[in-house]
Structure 1
Amino acid sequence: MTTKTPTPSSVDNPAKPYFGIDVPFMDHIGLQPVSLDESSCHTHLAIDTSLTNSRGDLHGGVLMSAFDFTLSAAARAHDPLQFGAVTIEMSTHFYESARTSVHVMARCPRRGKSIAFCEGEIRDETGKLVAVARATFKLIALNK
């Protein structure tokens, strides 16, 4: 399998800021792309009161959305301008609440021709492990 590392222009394209694609919902929640390599992805989510639950913690659904995007980016990281990813399944385990901005890290330890298996973690600004997730994705060619 040939792997391609995204060029700075593909990662930093203002029209498609999410590693070569436009994802309006990620823009809506404020998820920021940080880095992408051939098998991993890093994003950052700043805390905002509109994203919190009644206790002031980042809402679990927001964290799961951040996981879904970041894990899917790791799934397609080998060729991000040629592939999209559709979630087949995702499981999430929450360990702690998050009251600060968070870092979402994902990696793809196994990728076949059309299926990718990914895992990730969310840590708060102090390094505390907030949640972990695993997901399976169907890779979809974008230009077909």
Structure 2
Amino acid sequence: METHIRPLSLTDRPAWESLFLAYGQFYKTDYSPALIEANWRRLHDPTVGLHGLVALGEAGELIGLLHYIPHLHTNSARMVGYLEDLFVIPEARGQRAGEKLIEALVDIGKTSGWYRIYWHTHADNATARKLYDRVAKLSAFVRYDIPLVP
């Protein structure tokens, strides 16, 4: 199967929304219509800094998404890239769509002169971790959270 990667487009809204909702379901998170709308607006507002890439299958259908945020970093004068979300439909897994999305982000980072790209995943997400172990180095850092909203 041939997979193509391109930036998210305004015409992708219905397919993107379906993918994003499936991503939320995977993590047992219900995204409200207001959050869907807010994220869609953020992805297309150049002042926000949230960006999207999509993977297309052979027929041009969206089979995956990747959201990322470039930001400042105190360990380097260069920007870093945070891979916020990565999702590929189950039917397309194992066909390198996720890997190609990450490769496209690496290309963006190299072209933009970033210091590095990083992301988080659930420890028990074995499918994603197989990919991540192939394309990246596992960090020794542990993440802590302070919830600010009940």
- TM-score tier after normalising by the smaller chain length: 0.3 to 0.5
Q: TM-score, normalised by structure 1?
A: 0.33
Greater strand share, structure number: 1
Structure with max Cα Rg: 2
